[in-house]
Amino acid sequence: MAHIQDRSIPRVSPKAREYVGDVLDFGFHNAHSVGMTARLEQRFAERMGAKYGIAHCNGTATLQSALLAAGVGVGDEVIVPAFTVFSTPAAALQCNAVPVVADVDPETWTLDPEDVRRKITPRTKAVIPVSICGLMPDMGPLMELAREHDLIVIEDNAQGYLSEYHGRVAGAIGHFASFSFQASKTVTCGDGGILICRDPDLALKARRAATLGFRDLSVTPGDNVVDEELRCHPDYRRHCSLGWNQRLPEIACAVALAELERVEELVEMRCLCAEAFAEVVDRCDWLTPQRVPEGYRHTYWTYPVKIEREDVDWAEFRRTFTALGGDGFYGAYCPVHLEEVFENLTVAIRARPERYPQWTGNWPDYSPGLCPAWERIQPRIAMFKTNYFDTVEARRQAVVLEQTVRRFS
Ligand SMILES: Cc1ncc(COP(=O)(O)O)c(C=O)c1O
């Protein structure tokens, strides 16, 4: 572990104070601002290989706006992976569409294009591949399927800042890409998110979806407030389409912009922390890391491993790690189709079909067995934290992992 360089960076970018100061000095006005939202939207889109950015209050609302902009609604199906945060299927439910859950590849744990192919129906309108833990899915075949079946692809890159797929950065491939600024994420302002895309028509629809469907919005960065002259007039009919109110406060945009400006450093730090764990895992024949195929860049929002030995109890492993001074680690999220919300919705739809006309008749069976690969793997996953801002601390955690492994040998 000695070869991993010593690095330490501040937890919050020093620039954040300056930019927040700029917002506060300018003050809050109804129809104009110091331009922090515009700067964030523009810089973010440019850095992630897109043209338009639309800041949102979180990285779930972004997915919802993308689906609304793509015209996804009642009777439509949206394919999501079994390994993701519930935000991904929730966005489909919020649009009254049906989330169809596809399995993951047994080694990369990202969306399996073959299972997506099997689950496409004439009702499928969109696919949301997720850069889970910081590894992009196999986007080539997924985009091919999308072309064949006329599907909208929304990359969910909440965990995938600067991840790469054959030289293309996360955000540059799908019709849309979504990022989260939630507190655990690589770029954060506490809470927030951004949606990016390259198509001006989709970008405008997404901005309207995020800003009450105001007719006079444009794709111009920061254009999420309608001009005062227009708004004042009694004849003004403001709302041309259905949209929610998902704006990100300018104070938060200021922090997100400052963090975006050092995104390479933030990603490098996560990768160094992951490297410390990887050195230990590479020497252990019963811990398997997420496979990173040739041509991919993993950016380690977290460092996940699979505990291969059936005689090592997950909870006992964690207890040993924390008892030895480890920070703790997370289990992988329950396969989304087995979350209680689907069970409860199924009961509710059966009991009162007239209350749920949008789902009655085309509600899938979200039962065990739907995604066998992920159902088998998920209980055995340990996700180690990589959000240390000091490699000395990350190395200390890796040493504790090594001691933990020895206890089970
Ligand atoms: C994969 C994934 N998708 C979506 C989200 C939702 O982001 P947010 O918490 O900003 O709504 C998250 C973050 O929690 C995530 O990890």
pLDDT tens per residue, range 75-114: 999 999 999 999 999 999 999 999 999 999 999 999 999 9
Segment 321-326 mean pLDDT: 98
For ligand 1, is residue 64 a contact (CB within 6 Å)?
A: no
Atom number, ligand 1, closest to the C-alpha of residue 182? 10
Mind listing the pLDDT tens digit for each residue in 284-310? 999 999 999 999 999 999 999 999 999
Same-domain check for residues 152 and 18: yes
Token couple for 123: 């009702």
For ligand 1, is residue 211 a contact (CB within 6 Å)?
A: no
- Give one DSSP letter per residue of 122-153, joined into a string: TTEEEE--B-BTTB---HHHHHHHHHHHT-EE
Structural domain contains residue 191: yes
Q: 131: CA distance to ligand 1 center in Å?
A: 11
Residue 264, helix vs strand vs coil: helix
Same-domain check for residues 223 and 198: yes
* Nearest Cα residue to 34 out of 261, 255, 259, 250: 250
pLDDT higher than 80, residue 282: yes
Q: 180: CA distance to ligand 1 center in Å?
A: 6
Structural domain contains residue 150: yes
pLDDT at position 208 is 97
Which range is least confidently modeled, 209-213, 220-224, 324-328?
220-224
Q: What's the CATH code of the domain at 190?
A: 3.40.640.10
pLDDT higher than 80, residue 5: no
For ligand 1, is residue 62 a contact (CB within 6 Å)?
A: no
Q: 46: CA distance to ligand 1 center in Å?
A: 22
**Placement of tokens 């109110």 in the chain:** 245
Same-domain check for residues 242 and 308: no
Strand partners, 239: 214
Q: 111: CA distance to ligand 1 center in Å?
A: 16
Q: Taking all residues of the chain, what is their mean pLDDT, rounded to a whole number?
A: 96
Number of domains in the chain: 2
pLDDT higher than 80, residue 31: no
Structural domain contains residue 27: yes
Same-domain check for residues 21 and 133: yes
Structural domain contains residue 389: yes
Q: Give the residue from 262, 296, 319 where a domain finishes.
A: 262
pLDDT band at 225 (very low <50, low <70, confident <90, very high): confident
Same-domain check for residues 44 and 167: yes
Same-domain check for residues 141 and 206: yes
For ligand 1, is residue 156 a contact (CB within 6 Å)?
A: yes
Q: How many CB atoms lie within 10 A of CB 217?
A: 22
Cβ atoms of 162 and 297 within 8 Å: the answer is yes
For ligand 1, is residue 87 a contact (CB within 6 Å)?
A: yes
Q: What's the CATH code of the domain at 321?
A: 3.90.1150.10
Segment 388-406 mean pLDDT: 97
Q: 158: CA distance to ligand 1 center in Å?
A: 5
Segment 59-69 mean pLDDT: 98
CA-nearest residue, atom 4 of ligand 1: 87
Same-domain check for residues 108 and 155: yes
For ligand 1, is residue 143 a contact (CB within 6 Å)?
A: no
pLDDT at position 232 is 82
The values of phi and psi at residue 197, to 5°, are: -160, 170
Same-domain check for residues 238 and 273: no
Structural domain contains residue 340: no
Report the alpha-carbon distance of residue 293 to residue 150 in Å, rounded: 27
Cβ atoms of 199 and 175 within 8 Å: the answer is yes
Same-domain check for residues 145 and 63: yes
Mind listing the pLDDT tens digit for each residue in 123-142? 999 999 999 999 999 999 99
Q: Give the residue from 262, 278, 299 where a domain finishes.
A: 262
Q: Give the residue from 209, 233, 262 where a domain finishes.
A: 262
Q: 83: CA distance to ligand 1 center in Å?
A: 12
Q: Is 244 exposed, middle or buried (0-12, 13-18, 19+ CB in 10 A)?
A: middle
By most ligand atoms within 8 Å of CB, the mutation choice from 63, 64, 159 for ligand 1 is 159
146-171 b/e (C-beta count within 10 Å ≥ 16 → b):
beeeebbbbbbbbbbbbbbbeeebbb
pLDDT at position 127 is 98
Same-domain check for residues 278 and 194: no
For ligand 1, is residue 159 a contact (CB within 6 Å)?
A: yes
Q: 293: CA distance to ligand 1 center in Å?
A: 24
Q: 139: CA distance to ligand 1 center in Å?
A: 20
Atom number, ligand 1, closest to the C-alpha of residue 62? 11
Report the alpha-carbon distance of residue 313 to residue 318 in Å, rounded: 9
Token couple for 220: 């111009």
pLDDT at position 2 is 54
Atom number, ligand 1, closest to the C-alpha of residue 159? 16
What DSSP state is assigned to residue 176? E
Structural domain contains residue 296: yes
Mind listing the pLDDT tens digit for each residue in 379-393? 999 999 999 999 999
pLDDT at position 211 is 95
pLDDT at position 226 is 74
What is the percent of the chain with per-residue pLDDT over 70, rounded to a whole number? 99
**Cα angle for residues 247, 66, 264 (degrees, 5° grid):** 75
Q: 333: CA distance to ligand 1 center in Å?
A: 12
Atom number, ligand 1, closest to the C-alpha of residue 60? 11
pLDDT higher than 60, residue 1: no
Q: 350: CA distance to ligand 1 center in Å?
A: 30
Structural domain contains residue 97: yes
Structural domain contains residue 355: no
pLDDT at position 227 is 76
* Nearest Cα residue to 7 out of 313, 317, 342, 262: 262
pLDDT band at 3 (very low <50, low <70, confident <90, very high): low
Same-domain check for residues 255 and 271: no
Segment 275-289 mean pLDDT: 98
**What ranges make up the beta strands (E) of 142-192?**
152-156, 164-165, 168-169, 176-180
Cβ atoms of 7 and 272 within 8 Å: the answer is yes
Report the alpha-carbon distance of residue 99 to residue 115 in Å, rounded: 14
pLDDT higher than 80, residue 260: yes
Same-domain check for residues 238 and 383: no
The domain in which residue 321 lies consists of 264-333+372-407
Q: 216: CA distance to ligand 1 center in Å?
A: 30
By most ligand atoms within 8 Å of CB, the mutation choice from 180, 184, 383 for ligand 1 is 180
Segment 151-178 mean pLDDT: 98
For ligand 1, is residue 280 a contact (CB within 6 Å)?
A: no
